Amino acid sequence: MLHPAAPFADADLEFLNANQQAEADVLVGWAPHLPPTARRVNAATGEGVAEWLDEILAGALPVAANPLTLDYARYAAAEASLAWLNARVTVRATPALSPAGLIGPLLDRLSDVVPNIVHLKLLAQCDAGYLKAALTASHTEPKVEGTLDASPARDHEILINIRALADPVALRAIVESEFAKLPARLTWQTLQSFRPAAPVPYHVTSPLPELRQE
């Protein structure tokens, strides 16, 4: 799946993006301008999805046809430039709020204060419905789907997933600070912020340089 913000100005991100594209058997995306070999597939509108799935189910697509000679140390360093954050939090809102009323302002603030977002996904669920929102860059309009007219509710569960060019400790502090501004009592079920570990290809017998986990 092609990232809509590619190609990237950041050298590490563009290194990852270029190698992942080179290794991929099939490129799909929905950005206005796609590489000539890419297929236009949009899960939100359904464009191209049926044709793509027909090819997959028919076994018509190549598998692992583009092996790379990869500098794994460089790849590991590029991946380590990203902070990953995953969290699940139970929210008791006071007063009761709809999913849109709860995460709309939160998403606006995160878009403004999280540096260099590569992707950010928020999902809020309650008995009245759900709302899912996604960003592929800081300071951009989100893609939103779900029950926009859901009734207000007191109890919600929020999932958040972020990849950003940031320090993991700083990213965690930003997220905790912005969630604390919600008019609600929070119970963090999980909250992880870290840099990914170095990949270990099966044919490499000597260890790669250790990357610091935060």
pLDDT score recorded for residue 202: 58
Give 181's pLDDT tier (boundaries 50, 70, 90).
very high
More reliable by pLDDT, 168 or 20: 168
Q: Is the pLDDT of residue 60 over 70?
A: yes
Instruction: Please report the pLDDT score of residue 17 as a whole number.
Output: 79
Question: In 3D, which of 167, 179, 101 has the Cα closest to residue 133?
Answer: 101
Q: pTM for this structure?
A: 0.77
pLDDT in tens, 123-180: 999 999 999 999 988 888 898 999 999 999 999 999 999 999 999 999 999 999 999 9
**What average pLDDT does the chain have?**
85
Q: What is the pLDDT of residue 207?
A: 52
Q: Give dist(CA 17, CA 64) in Å, integer.
A: 17
In the chain, the percentage of residues whose pLDDT exceeds 70 is 90
CA 91 to chain centre: 22
111-123, pLDDT tens digit by residue? 999 999 999 999 9
Q: What is Dmax (Cα atoms) for the chain?
A: 58
What was the pLDDT predicted at 205?
Answer: 46
Rounded to whole angstroms, the Cα distance separating 160 from 119 reads 11
- Structure tokens belonging to residue 191: 């909250």
